[in-house]
């Protein structure tokens, strides 16, 4: 579920003693090597991946897309082709720990392996890990906001950030800690700073900091399952003061998007990602040789200088200076929680208590074509999966305090049913949602745009301090009701705060990619692919949870 791995830092570079530092000879049995391939979890084929000599199948954090040029150069130098499959860190950790990555991937390249280390069953799954670069979590603040707050960037603490938020003077965006390590690293950093913890966070520290953490998260105006979408949403919204993300991401935004952010590493400490390239124990011997050759190449001083210059991550090779613009002064490294129960407890508190609640409208195609191939059954199963149980792990079910509205449609909207998941007693709402989902029946045409307009009207009836979004699932193109042009005009006339509600569209069955991509782009949402071998409907719905 999280596209950025889990934090570590410069001081932990002793892990590099695990091996992979010397260049080893590599015999490549391929006459022609394809270029670096990057695919997301949405594009991941259903069939088992097959190892090919000289090609590494790598489960990776999404932000590593910016390493494509470096990996292309590595291929020319070492003969090793890297195929990256992006996935959130908790999902990736589960895949590795459960053994489901065995035979399918040769290596994992996440922001950190710290969460994976909390899984005892994962110990035998990892062959070696070699840190490649580092990046601390940081706060990127509009220069105008820094001046307004009277901050001296080198002296800012997490408590000072909290105080500005609590006073209504600062708003920010942050990725979802359940799915993205930049979000989890930020959550650990803030919890450590506000609790005064001097060692790894404990349950007592989290309880102590909870009132202030809840105040801190009142300022979170944007959430996301990925750093890239968060940056786009930040630019689109325009009214948010800051972003919490990796130093590398924030600095890159200044270079490529003229974001005008002052990048602050709070003085009381940060969590840092060390991006260990981790060979899996199940990888064949040829893959391990390729992995050692690749990491030896990536740790060469000349390559380290390229990495820091192109990505603004910090080098791990001795004697290589960080890219210009990256501050050289040190910050205290905040430790990762010492047990899985503390980490999961912190995530559960964030999901169900600390963050602003969610308000989600599911616009669901239940037209006659949904009967084909039991598509309606797949829809029921995917939504039922989100009801989970009252004790489901963080991110696996609708959140406490979440308002869930189901809007099934055919030739027109069939019904509008809203449920609120009550804290402490989620069972009633989850049971009611399950019953509504079970009652969905395929019938009628496909009124996509009319149904979307109805969803926006529903959301406009009441204002709520919540993360608001619309999920659109259709298996065909619009055949009934108003046309695309009408919806575009309707959307343009909405009040500004309603235009901030994105539509997350799910490509399914025979739906029109261009049609859904236009809706997502217009509203600031995103397109998720659940067609054929490109993904699953339940996987798409679960991934969307990181954006709600």
CATH number at residue 17: 3.40.190.10
Residues 64-91 have a mean pLDDT of 91
**4/159: higher pLDDT:** 159
Residues 392 and 476 in one domain: yes
Considering its fold, how many domains does the chain have in total?
3
Residues 372 and 517 in one domain: yes
Kindly tell me if the per-residue pLDDT of 49 is higher than 70: no
Q: Which residues pair with 472 in a beta bridge?
A: 363, 505
- Indicate whether 329 belongs to any domain: no
pLDDT at 33: 30
List the domain range (segments joined by +) for residue 183.
Answer: 135-272+334-345
**pLDDT above 70 coverage of the chain, percent:** 89
Kindly tell me if the per-residue pLDDT of 34 is higher than 60: no
Residues 373 and 482 in one domain: yes
| Nearest residue to 467 via CA among 215, 188, 226, 175 | 175
pTM of the full structure: 0.85
- Measured distance CA(450)–CA(430) in Å, rounded: 28
DSSP-based three-state secondary structure for 1: coil
Residues 158 and 71 in one domain: no
CATH number at residue 379: 3.40.50.410
Residues 397 and 529 in one domain: yes
Residues 311 and 223 in one domain: no
Residues 19 and 44 in one domain: yes
Q: Measure the N-to-C terminal CA separation of the chain; round to a whole number of Å.
A: 13
Element (H, E) at 398: none
- Cβ(51)–Cβ(106) below 8 Å: yes
DSSP-based three-state secondary structure for 264: strand
258-277 confidence digits (pLDDT tens): 899 999 999 999 999 999 99
pLDDT class for 106, splitting at 50, 70, 90?
Answer: very high
Residues 388 and 531 in one domain: yes
**pLDDT above 90 coverage of the chain, percent:** 73
Which pairs count as long-range contacts for 160-168, CB under 8 Å and 24+ apart, including other chains? 160/266, 161/190, 161/216, 161/266, 162/190, 162/193, 162/194, 162/212, 162/215, 162/216, 165/215, 165/216, 165/218, 165/219, 166/212, 166/215, 166/216, 166/218
Residues 293 and 178 in one domain: no
Residues 221 and 267 in one domain: yes
- Indicate whether 328 belongs to any domain: no
Mean pLDDT over each residue of the chain, to the nearest integer: 88
- Measured distance CA(132)–CA(317) in Å, rounded: 8
Residues 245-264 have a mean pLDDT of 93
- Indicate whether 455 belongs to any domain: yes
């Amino acid at each position: 579920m999280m596209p950025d791995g889990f934090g570590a830092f410069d001081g932990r570079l002793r892990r590099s003693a695990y091996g992979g530092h010397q260049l080893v000879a590599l015999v490549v049995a391929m006459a022609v090597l394809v270029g670096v391939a990057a695919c997301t979890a949405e594009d991941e084929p259903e069939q088992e991946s097959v190892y090919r000599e000289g090609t590494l199948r790598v489960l990776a954090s999404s932000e590593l897309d910016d390493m494509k040029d470096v990996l292309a150069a590595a291929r020319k130098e070492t003969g090793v082709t890297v195929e990256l499959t992006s996935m959130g860190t908790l999902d990736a950790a589960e895949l590795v720990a459960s053994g489901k990555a065995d035979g399918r991937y040769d290596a994992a390249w996440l922001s950190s392996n710290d969460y994976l280390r909390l899984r005892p069953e994962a110990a035998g799954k990892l062959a070696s890990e070699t840190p490649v670069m580092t990046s601390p979590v940081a706060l990127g603040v509009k220069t105008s906001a820094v001046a307004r707050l009277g901050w001296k960037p080198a002296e800012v603490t997490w408590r000072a950030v909290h105080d500005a938020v609590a006073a209504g003077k600062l708003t920010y965006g942050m990725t979802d800690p359940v799915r993205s390590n930049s979000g989890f690293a930020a959550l650990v950093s803030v919890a450590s700073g506000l609790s005064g913890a001097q060692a790894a966070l404990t349950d007592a520290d989290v309880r102590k900091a909870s009132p202030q953490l809840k105040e801190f998260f009142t300022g979170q105006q944007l959430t996301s399952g990925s750093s890239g979408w968060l940056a786009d949403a930040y630019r689109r919204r325009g009214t948010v003061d800051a972003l919490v993300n990796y130093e590398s991401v924030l600095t890159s935004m200044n270079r490529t998007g003229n974001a005008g952010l002052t990048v602050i590493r709070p003085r009381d400490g940060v969590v840092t990602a060390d991006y260990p390239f981790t060979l899996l124990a199940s990888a064949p011997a040829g893959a391990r040789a390729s992995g050692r050759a690749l990491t030896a190449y990536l740790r060469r001083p000349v390559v380290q200088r390229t990495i820091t210059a192109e990505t603004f991550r910090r080098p791990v090779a001795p004697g290589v200076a960080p890219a210009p613009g990256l501050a050289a002064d040190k910050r205290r490294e905040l430790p990762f929680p010492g047990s899985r129960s503390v980490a999961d407890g912190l995530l559960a508190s964030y999901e169900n208590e600390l963050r602003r609640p969610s308000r989600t409208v599911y616009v669901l195609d239940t037209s006659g074509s949904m009967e084909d191939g039991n598509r309606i059954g797949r829809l029921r199963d995917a939504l039922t999966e989100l009801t989970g149980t009252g004790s489901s792990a963080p991110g696996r079910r609708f959140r406490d305090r979440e308002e869930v509205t189901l809007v099934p449609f055919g030739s027109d909207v069939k019904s509008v049913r809203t449920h609120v998941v009550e804290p402490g007693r989620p069972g009633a709402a989850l049971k009611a949602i399950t019953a509504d989902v079970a009652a969905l029946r395929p019938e009628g045409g496909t009124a996509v745009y009319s149904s979307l307009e109805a969803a926006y009207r529903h959301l406009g009836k009441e204002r709520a301090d919540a993360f608001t979004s619309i999920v659109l699932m259709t298996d065909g193109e619009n055949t009934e009701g108003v046309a695309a042009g009408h919806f575009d005009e309707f959307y343009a006339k909405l009040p500004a705060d309603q235009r901030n509600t994105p539509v997350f569209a799910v490509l399914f069955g025979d739906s029109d990619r261009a049609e859904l991509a236009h809706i997502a782009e217009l509203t600031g949402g995103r397109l998720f692919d659940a067609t054929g071998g490109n993904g699953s409907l339940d996987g798409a719905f679960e991934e969307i949870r990181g954006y709600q």
